[in-house]
Amino acid sequence: MPAQKIAVIGGGAKAAALAAKARCINSVHQRELEITIFERSAIGANWDGEHGYTDGLQRLCTPAERDLGFPYDSAPFGAGVTAAMQAVFSWHAVVAASTDVVCEDERWEDYGEWLDLGRKPPRHRTFARYLRHAVDKAQAAVRIGTVEKIELQGDRWAIRHAPPIGPATVDAFDGLVFTGPGPAKTPRIGDDHLFNGETFWRNLDRVRDVLDGGSPHPVVLVGGGGTTAAIAAWFAGNYPDREVHIVAKHGTLFLRTHNYFESRMFSRSEAWAGLSHDEKTAFVKRLNRGVVWASVLDVLENARALVIDPGEVANIRREAMGGRSTLVVDIVGKAGPLDAALVVDGGGFDPWWFRSLMPDAVQRATATDAQRLTLEAAMADDLSITVPGCPRFHVPMVATAVGAGLSSLMALGEMSDAVLSCYWHQFAPIV
Residue 354 per-residue DSSP state: G
Are 335 and 229 within one domain? Answer: yes
| Same domain flag for 299 and 394 | no
Residue 275: inside a domain, yes or no?
no
d(CA 129, CA 141): 17
Supply the mean pLDDT for the chain.
88
Q: What is the pLDDT of residue 431?
A: 43
Same domain? For 17 and 76 the reply is yes
Q: Which CATH number belongs to the domain containing residue 220 in this structure? A: 3.50.50.60
Same domain, 201 and 122: no
User: What is the identity of the amino acid at 65?
Assistant: E
CB 23 within 8 A of CB 79: no
pLDDT of 404 over the 90 cut: no
One domain, residues 160 and 17: yes
- Summarised one tens digit per residue, pLDDT across range 10-48 is 999 999 999 999 999 999 999 999 999 999 999 999 999
Same-domain check for residues 177 and 246: no
User: Number of structural domains, the chain?
Assistant: 2
Average pLDDT of 77-97? 96
Amino acid symbol at 117: L
Pairing relationship of beta strands 384-385 and 219-222 according to DSSP bridges: unpaired
Asked whether residue 204 falls in the same domain as residue 228, the answer is yes
Report pLDDT for 88.
97
Confidence of residue 292 (pLDDT cuts 50, 70, 90): low
Same domain membership, residue 294 and residue 364? no
Residues 239 and 226 in one domain: yes
Residue 135's SS3 state is: helix
What's the pTM?
A: 0.92
Instruction: List the one residue out of 266, 288, 291 whose CA is nearest residue 413.
Output: 266
| Digit-coded pLDDT (tens) for 174-216 | 999 999 888 877 655 568 899 988 889 999 999 999 999 888 8
Among 47, 95, 103, CA closest to 409: 47
What b/e readout covers 287-311, taking b as 16+ CB neighbours within 10 angstroms? bbebbbbebbbebbeebeebebbeb
Q: Which residue did the predictor score with more confidence, 413 or 52?
A: 413
Q: Which of 223, 207, 37, 229 is nearest to 138 (CA)?
A: 37
Tell whether 213 is covered by a domain: yes
pLDDT of residue 197: 87
Average pLDDT over residues 229-234: 89
Evaluate whether residue 418 is within a structural domain. yes
Map residue 74 onto helix, strand or coil.
Answer: coil
- Are residues 331 and 369 both part of a single domain? no
The domain of 142 spans 4-182+350-424
320-371 pLDDT tens trace? 776 678 888 898 878 788 899 999 998 778 899 999 999 999 999 999 999 9
Is residue 189 one of the residues assigned to a domain? no
Q: Tell me the C-alpha distance between 111 and 7, whole Å.
A: 33
Question: Measured in Å, how far apart are the chain's first and last C-alpha atoms?
Answer: 15
Do 371 and 344 meet the contact criterion of CB atoms below 8 Å apart? no
The residue that leads in pLDDT, 252 or 178, is 178
Q: What is the pLDDT of residue 6?
A: 98
Lowest mean pLDDT among 83-92, 132-141, 308-317: 308-317
